[in-house]
Amino acid sequence: MDDLPYVYEDGFEGFDHRIIYYESSRGCPFNCQYCLSSIEKGVRIKSLPIVLKELQQFLDARVMQVKFVDRTFNCHKKHALGIWQYLHEHDNGYTNFHFEISADLLDEETIQFLKVVRPGLFQLEIGVQSTNESTIHHIKRKTNFLKLADVVKSINEGHNIHQHLDLIAGLPEEGYASFGHSFNDVYALEPHQLQLGFLKILNGSGLKKDAKKFGIIYKEKAPYEVLGTTALSYDEIIRLKMIEEMVEIYYNSGNFYFTIKYMEKYFKTPFELYEALGDYWLENNLHLLNHNKVKLYTILLEFFREILSVDEKVLMELLKFDMYLQEKVKKFPYWLERQEQYKGVTINFYKDEENIKKYLPNFGQYTSKQISRMTHLEIFPLDIIKWSKDFTKPLEWRKNAVLFDYHTRDIFRNNAKYRTVELIYNISQEM
Ligand code: SF4
């Protein structure tokens, strides 16, 4: 590995806003039957001093993101920890590093170390693939899901690392219901991204040899994707494709966080929610069109109206909250009321210097008009912030003012920073 040329020796011109790929090891010690990396035996590792010297060039150039293509980055603890520690100590406050890891290999020392790195410095991709033990056995994976789940939860407590979890549909003996279980198990870990992939039968893989045994039918041409198995029909795969799209739109985008949290309680499992959403999209041919963000919020409201006969006022408030988390809403959907009655409250809030000092201390150099354009103050009849501290508790009707700051966003969902503000002016009198 040390003899391989460094591909970025001409510098980083033209790489602005591009992902930089980097390899510090080749091969994988594991033997997953669908994966070509399992064929090559052994793992070759680039010497740590060379890796660190090369990584320093990424840091100096302040590239946006470096994606390690190492198949299981942490299969060699000393190597992985050496790199992580160096990146932590030489952090430039900007570059993000992405790693594919086997979470159940992380020990307590490493987990505790990971909890203290800069929020946004590292991003972890963790392959779960399935939580069905028989499936895991047939594909010869070694994952200990309970250990993996503990590690993911523990890292989540640090609120500093983006975690991306993967599932694969179409694996041996993983039927539709079983995939639903795997989905719910992984969803419960609250990853920032949940990726639903579909099995590909690659030339030379163990599963290609065993395809007949598991009744796997797949495309003869690239991308060699599964079309059906003894356990999973073609129609079920099509349904799962729609669920994948729903997860991308409504979960992975992070644009519907509070609304989806609320909707979950109307379904027995999260899988059933995304299944119902997928069916609704198919029945209404919504998948045939491109929808802008505003339309996506409206579709969610209309889905809720049609599928569940419950008070939609709550949902409208949550949708509004989610919309304002993304941006200062300028294009209003038909169901969203403008808060004309609170106009006076808002103007008074921004005019009061004490409010700016207290709630927006970094905006001191701006005029109240400029600040009101960079932030947003909205009065909600529901206490969504209190509810967000514990989603198992009921959402209470209590009028409160929420300030959204679009200059400070969270690293995971790109949501504006938000907080409750106390208004001297009594908002209940404004009705
Ligand atoms: S799927 Fe991942 S862990 Fe399994 S053999 Fe391939 S690279 Fe290794």
pLDDT digits (tens, 9 = 90+) for 137-157: 999 998 899 999 999 999 999
Place of tokens 């992984």: 186
- The DSSP result for 90-151, as a single string, is T--SS-EEEEEE-GGG--HHHHHHHTTSPTTSEEEEEEEE---HHHHHHTT----HHHHHHH
- How many alpha carbons lie under 13 Å from residue 429 in its C-beta half-sphere? 6
Supply φ then ψ for residue 415, to 5 degrees. Answer: -80, 150
**pLDDT band per the 50, 70, 90 thresholds, residue 424:** low
User: What is the arithmetic mean of pLDDT over 82-102?
Assistant: 97
199 alpha carbon – ligand 1 mean position (Å): 13
The ligand 1 atom nearest the CA atom of 102:
3
For the segment 293-299, the average pLDDT, to the nearest whole number, is 95
Model confidence pLDDT, tens digit, residues 42-69? 999 999 999 999 999 999 999 999 999 9
Partners of residue 160 on adjacent β-strands: none
Most confident of 24-28, 343-347, 364-368: 24-28
Q: What is the CA radius of gyration of the chain?
A: 24
Asked whether the predicted pLDDT for residue 430 surpasses 60, the reply is no
pLDDT at 408 (0 to 100): 93
Portion of the chain with pLDDT greater than 90, in percent: 87
> Is 90 exceeded by the pLDDT of residue 94?
yes
Grouping H, G, I as helix, E, B as strand and the rest as coil, residue 366 is coil
- Are 107 and 113 in contact, with CB atoms under 8 Å apart? no
| Residue 427's pLDDT band (cuts 50, 70, 90) | low
114 lines ligand 1 (CB under 6 A): no
Q: State yes or no: pLDDT of 215 exceeds 50.
A: yes
Which H/E stretch holds residue 300?
A: helix 293-307
**If pLDDT is split at 50, 70 and 90, which confidence band does 15 have?**
confident
Cα(152) to centroid of ligand 1, in Å? 19
| Cβ of residue 199 lying under 6 Å from some atom of ligand 1 | no
Give the DSSP H/E element, type plus range, for residue 53: helix 48-61
| Residue 319 alpha carbon to ligand 1 centre in Å | 40
Percent of the chain at pLDDT > 70 equals: 98
Q: How far is CA 404 from the centre of its chain?
A: 21
Residue among 71, 124, 135, 148 whose CB has most ligand 1 atoms within 8 A, to mutate: 71
Q: How far is the CA of 141 from the centre of ligand 1 (A)?
A: 8
pLDDT at 425: 60
Q: In the predicted model, is pLDDT for residue 265 greater than 90?
A: yes
Q: Which atom of ligand 1 is nearest to the CA of 35?
A: 6
Written as one letter, the residue type at 321 is: F
Would you give the end-to-end CA distance of the chain in angstroms? 70
Average pLDDT score over the chain: 94
| Ligand 1 pocket check for 35: Cβ under 6 Å | yes
pLDDT in tens, 308-319: 877 799 999 999
Report the separation in Å between the CA atom of 138 and the middle of ligand 1, taken as the mean of its atom positions. Answer: 14
Q: How far apart are CA 330 and CA 250, in angstroms?
A: 21
Q: What is the Cβ-side half-sphere exposure of residue 388, based on CA atoms within 13 angstroms?
A: 14
User: Ligand 1 center to residue 252 CA distance, Å?
Assistant: 24
Q: State mean pLDDT over 240-254.
A: 97
pLDDT for 431 equals 39
Please give the DSSP secondary-structure letter assigned to residue 331: S
Q: Is 74 close to ligand 1, i.e. is its CB under 6 Å away?
A: no
Q: Is 72 in the pocket of ligand 1 (CB under 6 A)?
A: yes
In the predicted structure, residue 178 carries a pLDDT above the cut 80:
yes
| Residue of 23, 25, 26, 30 with the most ligand 1 atoms within 8 Å of its CB, for mutation | 30
Name the token pair of 256.
């519907």
Whether 210 shows a pLDDT value over 70: the answer reads yes
